[in-house]
Structure 1
Amino acid sequence: MADTPGRTTSPLMADLLQSGHQFSFVQVMRLARIFLDQNGIEGLPEIPWQERVQIRPELSLAFPAADVARVQRNGANLRVTTTFLELYGPASPLPNFYTEDLLDEASNDESVFRDFVDIIHQRLYHLYFQCWSKYRLFIRVVEENNPLDRERLFCLIGLGEKELRNTLPDSWSLLRYVGILTQFPRSARGLATILRDALNERRIKITQNVKRMVPIPRNQRIRLGVSGCRLGVDTVLGSEIADRMGKFRIEIGPLTWDEFNNFLPGTRQNEKLTALVRFYLTDPLEVELKLILAAGEAKPIRLGDPKARLGLNTWCFSGKTLGEVDAGFQVSATAFKQKTSSVPEPSLSPPDLHRSMVDYYREERSHLRELTEHFVQKHPNLVPLVSGPMADPGVERLLEGTAFYNSLLQRKLDDDIPEFIHEVINPLQPEHLRPIPATTIVAFTPKAELHNPLQISAGAEVESLAVQGIKCRFRTCIDVTVHPLTLLNSSFTQPSGKAASIKLCCALNGIGLSSWKVETLRFFLADNSPAARDLYLLLLHYLKRITITSPDNGTTVELPPGYLKPVGFAANEALLSGETSFTPGHQIVQEYFLFPDKFLFLDLAGLDNCRTLGNGLRFEINFELAACPLVVPRVNEKSFVLFATPVINLFKHKAKPLSVNLKVQQQQVHTAGEHSAHFQIHSVDKVEGLLKKKSAKIKYEVQNPLLQHSKEGHICHITQGRSAIGDGFDTLLSIPSHNTQNQTDRIKLDIDLTCTNGILPEQLGIGEVCVAGVATPESVELRNIKSVTATISQGIDQNRQWRLFSGFSLNSTSLASANNLRAVLHLFTNPNSRHQASVMANTRKIDSIVSIEAKTADRLIGRTIYRGYDIRLKLRGDHFAGPGDLYLFSSVLERFLGGYVTQSCFVRLVVEEIGKGYQFEWPARMGDRCVL
């Protein structure tokens, strides 16, 4: 049928136009989107469907029978008349006489006032429809094809980056199993459930702990005359060893002849099974596929049979058939290849979260201005009233107020559901929601009166000189022990015919070597970036042995190179958080990109052997290097610094007291003090309340709303909301109602905070963090020896927190290609930093990854064989400041890659530089993920 000449209307549209009152408002809008969208049946290019739907309320005081009174054509567009959410009509919040005035106006064939009020209605109804669909994921993903909601679902299963999704043949189908894929640890039941559904095959059984005989790597087999093996500790006789931890079996059947052939290697079903198994597993386990052919289905082999595959589905036998038979195959360890997803990525432009409230307000004013222009085109005699310099102030205030409330609503509609993702991220990696404070390196120098070792624990406070009248306060991140010791000089020597060495001359103060109570001594490599990192490379990779000599009597103590260890990678050496991280590799990478100097510390152990050197005051530490090191170091008085530690701009502070009652859902927390602009909230530590009427003190337990431990007692919730006036997040506090409290009771809250000084520390120079705090001993002097880093507000890019959460579900797809690994690493660079030179340098390092090859392997660790990955990375050396810079980056990656496997598997990394051809190798290291 046709309603206008030349236009054919579909039956559904005809039904909508004829019986619009039988549809709900939401149904009408969904159908309008389908038909009028640019790709729809009646779509027009470059005209959004929203602009083609005019919505206004029914002008009546009658009781409405439905949401929609009628749907009509308005040329090529639609006009929808509603009966709810109206400023006139029976449901209006305004007095009835406003509607009566409009009815009188309509009786005179006029509509001036109604058309003006409909300016507000038009925008209001479209916002209402957005509100309806905001949390309906099926509508957003399937009907609207919203790319942001699709991405959030993929983030739940570790496929937040487009590069990872494109690795899988059909990533879209995996969203069906989000509930299973988010469960850790992995289980046989979970894998069986996915396979049964995806392969449409119920006859699947998984057998765990299948025995296998594993060949021992040749370089780990015990041989006579080869040292390094200890009987009863790490010796295993023979060339292979039994193992039950590294293999399981998938049994499918009994199957018919055709079903059996469909699962053979090389078939689509087999490839699908392989991809699902490898995606589900976090460890590179060996998987055997056992196909069971039902009794009577086996066929004798015949020459020329096109379906016969020797060794797979052929049997030699006499008679017509066999009983039940089976065949076993190994499931491929490499299932992922770069492919294009079967569902194309939507190309809609995501909203810009960097827009401030002012930007949203201006956008809403623009919408209302366009609607006002349509109004004055219809009523040209009212132009002076609604626009121009003589516009009515009341009209202006009304439109401005409408724009303000609309902008608040639109801002909420554009968010990435922070009420969920922030509460999930906070217990896992809280630093992703907190400002990143300024950091630097502080060196403590012992005074002459110090004669015994002095430990300065992590958390000791130090201060800076005043900046704009405020002393910036820092606290130490790692324990540091100050000894009565002075580093006299350091030098590099390479005598002819002898190995090169780095020598440190040290002198004790008021105590002899025999009385010196020391176990480890920490050095900081304090030279500029290339020199310090080259020195880091030499000492950790080319070190042959360490000798400590007393010049007084010539006595020498020799230590193996393993006694010199890197600092900054342990859980208790974190910079940003004092809490144990669920993913230590993530935290290490993030801290490296923020403050790489934190990893230039070295601990020398075994110094308790110095007591055998006599009672002299002086001694020399000699680091003897292997022949032909890659770089020649530049060693001077700045190369080594004793008793240094990283410090971070964090300190205790009070919040402004809050007076709340339980009717108010959320209140923003502000810092107290005269210069509150220079204090930025990092975390809420403690909340106590005083009930005014009863003078009763209440202690609140700060809990995550999604992870409540108990309903007993008093709890409060701390959440982060995107700041309305700038980057970063605001801290919001809410107190759930308690059955012993009245909703109107006033409670005064006393809140303890951890704060930063914002961007103020960036004005400090070297040597200006030099004031001892309350807990800092007087027997040491201090000063910062590195520049203070910039403070960074956490990025508020669309879905950034979701993509960071995606990193908690790392799987082997990230190891399928260099492109995938680069995409994951880019997550941990913060483009919101004002120090763009650092961001560009980090990006260049990530882009240096040319290729990655991850092979499954077995290795002896102790007397047990373990399964793991042998990973080979190829990097471009010209993306780094030198070989030492590349080595430090690779060391961080080695720790990061440990997050791909559990603690029952290993990762062994080899890094090759493709320009000059040198390579670095790390020993096998067990994974970070918890097994249970």
Structure 2
Amino acid sequence: MDDLLRYYNDELAYLRQLGDGFARSYPRVAGQLRMGSSGSDDPHVERLIEAFAFLTARLQKRLDDDHSAIARSLLDILHPQLLAPLPPATIVRFDLDKADDPLSSGYVIPRHSALESAAIRGTPCSFRTGYPVSLWPITLTEAQLIPPPFRIPATLSQDQCRSLLRMKFACRDPALTAADMENLSSLRFYLNGQRQHVHALYEMLFTRLTGTALTAAGEDQPLHLLEPDCVRPVGFAEHEEILPHSRRISPAYRLLTEYFAFPDKFLFFDCAGLESPLGSWKHNVFHLYFYFDQRVESLERFISADTFQLGCTPVTNLFPVSAEPIRVTHEHAQHPVIPDGRLIESHEVYSIDRVTVIDDQGQQHDVEPLYSLSHGSDGTQPQRWFWHATRTTAQHDDNTILSGSELQMSVVDLELNPLASDDAVVAVETTCCNRDWVADLPFGGGEPFLQLAEGGPVQQGSCLIPFSSTRRPFEDHQVAWRLASMLALNHLSISDGVDGAQVMRELLQVYDVYRGPTDAFPLQGILSLTTKRVVARTVSHARVRRTDGGLGSPIGFAQGIETTLELDEPAFIGVGLYLFASVWEHFLGLYASVNSFSSLVLTTPQRKELKRWPPRNGAQVL
């Protein structure tokens, strides 16, 4: 409606200027059209001019909207998630109920479990979990980052142990021991705290870690050294996505989208390989040690047990809804997709997941999107009907504007003729969010509390950080420019002799659409990006039989691209230099071609080479 007002004012000003000029040129036949800046003295003339300005404003707006229709449709094919609203997200912590049964076998909250908040204006907000959550009857009672002296494993030197992260765990039931929790093989931690401290700790864990050990309570207990790769990052795998993504989209772009949408989803790490030592310990308390070859004194006083949160998962304001059935008529070419007629103010469609047409014979027919690949060009029988949806400003039946958007859907054939049946009913399965309602939930003291919809031996979840706001990144006038940028980037390569850093900035700017001017990504902190061809040894993870009869892993060599990325550390304060580089490293790996690899080297002017990642092809480290 605000856009229409702008068009109306432009048309009204033009008509007044044109009418005044015409009256001056032909005073005998058009003298009554003479107007000043305030309008005509004749109220009837003024009413006609305003009515005509309103009609021409609507027409001009419709013509301008049509300019972006093709661009919007193409962008909906290439990256549909960039047109959808970005739902609120947060980190939620769960804990087991303090019941008599200590649940020594643990309890798992599956991924995509439904949650509900307290009611807002009579309606609760709905959410779903992003990661599976394993809950155990143990508590992290202490966590310290300390300098020497401390116990050192025999396999590590003094230079490899300049600081120690020491965690102390205790079973909640005094009668319970570590051996009773036979399925406890790994622990997942969320790094909680101020951003600059959390990012520094995340960097230490993945660049300065030299060893990890487990020990029972008591200084006389032996140290059990864990495998070198026991500490693993979380959030990069395809099954760890928190936003629905079309399978037509490369997982590489999924990573960039989720990094800019909610970077906190990556601030998790797993410590695996715990089952061997814990399975034989009859102790109620045990320690976990992380050894680093660097001491960061400024970080030591900020580390506590509160920094490492167990039982956490990202949570997004998304939930499935079966929309109101649409009865197809000849009166309208498009029909609004209404998730729930009683909850229009609180439900906004994020995506359409499935469309089914029920004909007059009661037969159900699955309908594919119009801009899809099911048109019979491969020799198969093409579908008869397709659905197409456009996103518009949401409004009530009384034309009052709602926050957010709504979808208008039509069912057409390949020639865009609408479905010609007054007896057909269209059933639509959607994923929705609660518009801007989540912003009204109170925050503080663990609130808002979220309850599992299906129950379980779990206390209500508490939010560790405020919900991000609902964001809608693309307005109509921006769509064509974003599409042009994406198509242009498809023809550029960071290894073709062009300015790699500039290409990288252009790519990131396309996806950095969820932030405001005050928290925009520091593109100026990308100083340089260069590539070179290298050859590296690769080891297959498959076991094959050697000529001598034994088993081994085949060793080979492959050509690949080594990328050197130079970032300016002051520009990334509060953003997380290493976390961003990790996302970029996975992004490059997902674009590596067959029989090739990608390898990233991270450097800064302040510390020179900071990290050299092993060769990667897709999600596999070679």
Q: 2:185 aligns with which of 519, 523, 536?
A: 519
Q: Which residue of structure 1 aligns with residue 550 of structure 2?
A: none
Q: Which residue of structure 2 aligns with residue 290 of structure 1?
A: none
Q: Which residue of structure 2 aligns with residue 635 of structure 1?
A: 303
Relative distance call for 1:814 and 1:625 in structure 2 (3 A) is same
Q: Which residue of structure 2 aligns with residue 911 of structure 1?
A: 602
Q: Does 1:898 align with 2:589?
A: yes
Counterpart mapping for 1:831-850 below 5 A: 833=515, 835-839=516-520, 842=521, 844=522, 846-850=523-527
Counterpart mapping for 1:345-360 below 5 A: 356-360=3-7
Q: Which residue of structure 2 aligns with residue 828 of structure 1?
A: 511
CA distance in 2 between counterparts of 1:642 and 1:814 reads 47
Structure 1 residue 509 displacement after superposition: 4.2
More helix by share: 1
Relative distance call for 1:426 and 1:385 in structure 2 (3 A) is closer
Q: Which residue of structure 1 aligns with residue 141 of structure 2?
A: 488
Relative distance call for 1:664 and 1:469 in structure 2 (3 A) is closer
Counterpart of 2:571, as a letter, is H
CA distance in 2 between counterparts of 1:788 and 1:496 reads 42
CA distance in 1 between counterparts of 2:563 and 2:200 reads 24
Relative distance call for 1:631 and 1:887 in structure 2 (3 A) is farther
Contact kept? 1:663, 1:744, Cα under 8 Å: no
CA distance in 1 between counterparts of 2:54 and 2:362 reads 41
Structure 1 residue 477 displacement after superposition: 1.1
Q: CA deviation digits over 1:86-120, x for unaligned, max 9?
A: xxxxxxxxxxxxxxxxxxxxxxxxxxxxxxxxxxx
Contact kept? 1:858, 1:865, Cα under 8 Å: yes
1:786 is paired with a residue whose SS is coil
Q: Which residue of structure 2 aligns with residue 773 of structure 1?
A: 452
Aligned-residue Cα RMSD (Å) equals 3.3
Counterpart of 1:874, as a letter, is E
Q: Which residue of structure 2 aligns with residue 474 of structure 1?
A: 127
Structure 1 residue 891 displacement after superposition: 1.2
Q: Which residue of structure 2 aligns with residue 438 of structure 1?
A: 88
Q: 1:701 aligns with which of 367, 375, 383?
A: 367
Instruction: Name the stretch that deviates more: 536-545 or 652-661.
Output: 652-661
Contact kept? 1:901, 1:928, Cα under 8 Å: no
Counterpart of 1:872, as a letter, is T
CA distance in 2 between counterparts of 1:623 and 1:918 reads 23
Structure 1 residue 808 displacement after superposition: 5.1
Structure 1 residue 530 displacement after superposition: 0.9
Structure 1 residue 849 displacement after superposition: 1.1
Q: Does 1:533 align with 2:224?
A: no
Q: Does 1:786 align with 2:453?
A: no
Structure 1 residue 524 displacement after superposition: 0.4
CA distance in 1 between counterparts of 2:270 and 2:347 reads 35
CA distance in 2 between counterparts of 1:612 and 1:773 reads 31
2:503 is paired with a residue whose SS is helix
CA distance in 2 between counterparts of 1:665 and 1:742 reads 9
Contact kept? 1:480, 1:643, Cα under 8 Å: yes
CA distance in 2 between counterparts of 1:453 and 1:426 reads 43
CA distance in 1 between counterparts of 2:236 and 2:310 reads 19
More strand by share: 2
CA distance in 1 between counterparts of 2:297 and 2:572 reads 15
2:345 is paired with a residue whose SS is helix
Q: Which residue of structure 2 aligns with residue 861 of structure 1?
A: 538
Q: 1:652 aligns with which of 316, 320, 323?
A: 320
Contact kept? 1:464, 1:768, Cα under 8 Å: no
Structure 1 residue 428 displacement after superposition: 4.2
Counterpart of 1:434, as a letter, is A
Q: Which residue of structure 2 aligns with residue 595 of structure 1?
A: 262
Relative distance call for 1:718 and 1:729 in structure 2 (3 A) is farther
Contact kept? 1:522, 1:642, Cα under 8 Å: yes
Q: 1:605 aligns with which of 272, 284, 290?
A: 272
Instruction: Name the stretch that deviates more: 757-766 or 746-755.
Output: 746-755
Contact kept? 1:549, 1:613, Cα under 8 Å: no
Relative distance call for 1:727 and 1:876 in structure 2 (3 A) is farther
Structure 1 residue 805 displacement after superposition: 4.8
Structure 1 residue 879 displacement after superposition: 0.8
Counterpart mapping for 1:134-213 below 5 A: none
Relative distance call for 1:467 and 1:804 in structure 2 (3 A) is farther
Structure 1 residue 533 displacement after superposition: 1.1
Number of residue pairs matched by the alignment: 566
Instruction: Name the stretch that deviates more: 357-366 or 661-670.
Output: 661-670
Contact kept? 1:435, 1:793, Cα under 8 Å: yes
1:466 is paired with a residue whose SS is strand
Structure 1 residue 458 displacement after superposition: 1.5
Instruction: With a CA cutoff of 8 Å and minimum separation of 6, indicate the structure with the bigger relative contact order.
Output: 2
Relative distance call for 1:481 and 1:695 in structure 2 (3 A) is same
Counterpart of 1:566, as a letter, is P
Relative distance call for 1:905 and 1:411 in structure 2 (3 A) is farther
CA distance in 1 between counterparts of 2:490 and 2:244 reads 17
CA distance in 1 between counterparts of 2:83 and 2:497 reads 25
1:902 is paired with a residue whose SS is coil
Structure 1 residue 579 displacement after superposition: 4.7
Q: Which residue of structure 2 aligns with residue 457 of structure 1?
A: 110
TM-score scaled by length of structure 2:
0.82
CA distance in 1 between counterparts of 2:49 and 2:393 reads 25
Relative distance call for 1:904 and 1:429 in structure 2 (3 A) is farther
Contact kept? 1:521, 1:603, Cα under 8 Å: yes
Contact kept? 2:535, 2:559, Cα under 8 Å: yes
Contact kept? 1:538, 1:629, Cα under 8 Å: no
CA distance in 2 between counterparts of 1:608 and 1:577 reads 34
CA distance in 1 between counterparts of 2:138 and 2:346 reads 39
Counterpart of 2:12, as a letter, is R
Contact kept? 1:423, 1:719, Cα under 8 Å: no
Q: CA deviation digits over 1:5-30, x for unaligned, max 9?
A: xxxxxxxxxxxxxxxxxxxxxxxxxx
CA distance in 1 between counterparts of 2:403 and 2:502 reads 30
Q: CA deviation digits over 1:307-356, x for unaligned, max 9?
A: xxxxxxxxxxxxxxxxxxxxxxxxxxxxxxxxxxxxxxxxxxxxxxx972
Q: Which residue of structure 1 aligns with residue 546 of structure 2?
A: none
Which runs of 5 or more residues in structure 1 are unaligned? 1-353
Q: CA deviation digits over 1:10-61, x for unaligned, max 9?
A: xxxxxxxxxxxxxxxxxxxxxxxxxxxxxxxxxxxxxxxxxxxxxxxxxxxx
CA distance in 2 between counterparts of 1:774 and 1:662 reads 41
Structure 1 residue 561 displacement after superposition: 3.1
Relative distance call for 1:475 and 1:468 in structure 2 (3 A) is same
Q: CA deviation digits over 1:222-267, x for unaligned, max 9?
A: xxxxxxxxxxxxxxxxxxxxxxxxxxxxxxxxxxxxxxxxxxxxxx
TM-score scaled by length of structure 1:
0.56
Q: Does 1:505 align with 2:168?
A: yes
Structure 1 residue 794 displacement after superposition: 2.2
CA distance in 2 between counterparts of 1:630 and 1:429 reads 45
CA distance in 2 between counterparts of 1:465 and 1:888 reads 34
CA distance in 1 between counterparts of 2:487 and 2:276 reads 47
Contact kept? 2:489, 2:503, Cα under 8 Å: no
Structure 1 residue 522 displacement after superposition: 0.5
1:677 is paired with a residue whose SS is coil
Counterpart mapping for 1:99-138 below 5 A: none
CA distance in 2 between counterparts of 1:804 and 1:662 reads 38
Q: Does 1:685 align with 2:353?
A: yes
CA distance in 2 between counterparts of 1:899 and 1:442 reads 29
Structure 1 residue 416 displacement after superposition: 7.5
Counterpart of 2:329, as a letter, is N
Relative distance call for 1:744 and 1:914 in structure 2 (3 A) is same
Q: Does 1:447 align with 2:100?
A: no
CA distance in 2 between counterparts of 1:603 and 1:427 reads 36
CA distance in 1 between counterparts of 2:517 and 2:402 reads 19
